[in-house]
Structure 1
Amino acid sequence: MHHMTAEMQACIDECLRCHSTCLGMAMNHCLEAGGKHVEPEHFRLMLACAEMCQTSANFMLIGTRHHKHTCRECAEICEECARSCEQVGGMDDCVQACRRCAESCRKMAA
């Protein structure tokens, strides 16, 4: 039987929040703002981050030990996305969501 710890539930919440924030900002904020907000590398990274966060949350909800792998990758992508959003500017919500998710995922991957 898979036991859902409070730490894992917190990580799922962070992943889902980050997924929602990245996808929402990419599709609403970035597409509307244009310019450097929609440069391919940045835009793809935001979508990849949202996707990875969703996958990590799903793996934890499924209860497979493979969540350690998805969480490790998720932390890496979230950090990269946070840096990219910082460079683009005006994306503090995304930066904060990514950093919180990365921190939480690093703990789950350990």
Structure 2
Amino acid sequence: MPASSASATQNQAVLDALSRCIAACELCADACLHEDNIQMMVPCIRLDRDCADICRLTAAFIARGSDHAQHVLKECIEICQKCADECGKHQHDHCQQCAAACRACVEACRQYAA
């Protein structure tokens, strides 16, 4: 496979993982607002929002081949891991699905960064 094809495939894999993470975080944050004890969900909601935002930025940097993509990628990995850890503490389906999407995003970003 030519290098450009491998690169495009690698880009698409991380972009897909970032997109799935954005959607899962947005869904989770919205669903958390409807839980009985919203106050308990505040850290989860905040991390969901931070994670979705850093994933959007990271996807944009990767898609346009920014020289700063690697730097943003490191922050993305850190925030996605924190979001996965927080969502993983809650038994709600939306939190568990978000945690799984965040973990998958962390793995895809690590593979891309390597």
- TM-score normalised to the size of structure 1? 0.87
Deviations 1:50-109 (CA, angstroms, capped at 9, x unpaired): 101111111111111311111111111111101100112222210110000001111222
Q: What fraction of aligned residue pairs are identical, expressed as a percent?
A: 35
SS at match of 2:82: helix
Deviations 1:25-59 (CA, angstroms, capped at 9, x unpaired): 201x1011142575432221110001011111111
1:11 aligned residue:
14
Over 3 Å counting, the alpha-carbon distance change for 1:59 and 1:36 in structure 2 is: same
Equivalent pair of 1:75/1:106 in contact (CA under 8 Å):
yes
AA partner of residue 12 (structure 1): L
2:26 aligned residue:
23
Over 3 Å counting, the alpha-carbon distance change for 1:37 and 1:84 in structure 2 is: farther
1:42-53 equivalent positions in 2, closer than 5 A = 42-53=44-55
After superposing on structure 2, the runs of 4+ consecutive aligned residues of structure 1 that deviate more than 4 Å are none
Look at both structures and tell me which one has the larger radius of gyration over its CA atoms: 2
1:57 aligned residue:
59
Tell me whether 1:67 sits opposite 2:73 in the alignment: no
Flag structure 2 segments of 5+ consecutive residues without an equivalent.
none
Kindly tell me the number of residue pairs found equivalent between the two proteins.
107
Flag structure 1 segments of 5+ consecutive residues without an equivalent.
none
- TM-score normalised to the size of structure 2? 0.84
2:37 aligned residue:
35
Aligned residue among 86, 95, 100 for 2:104: 100
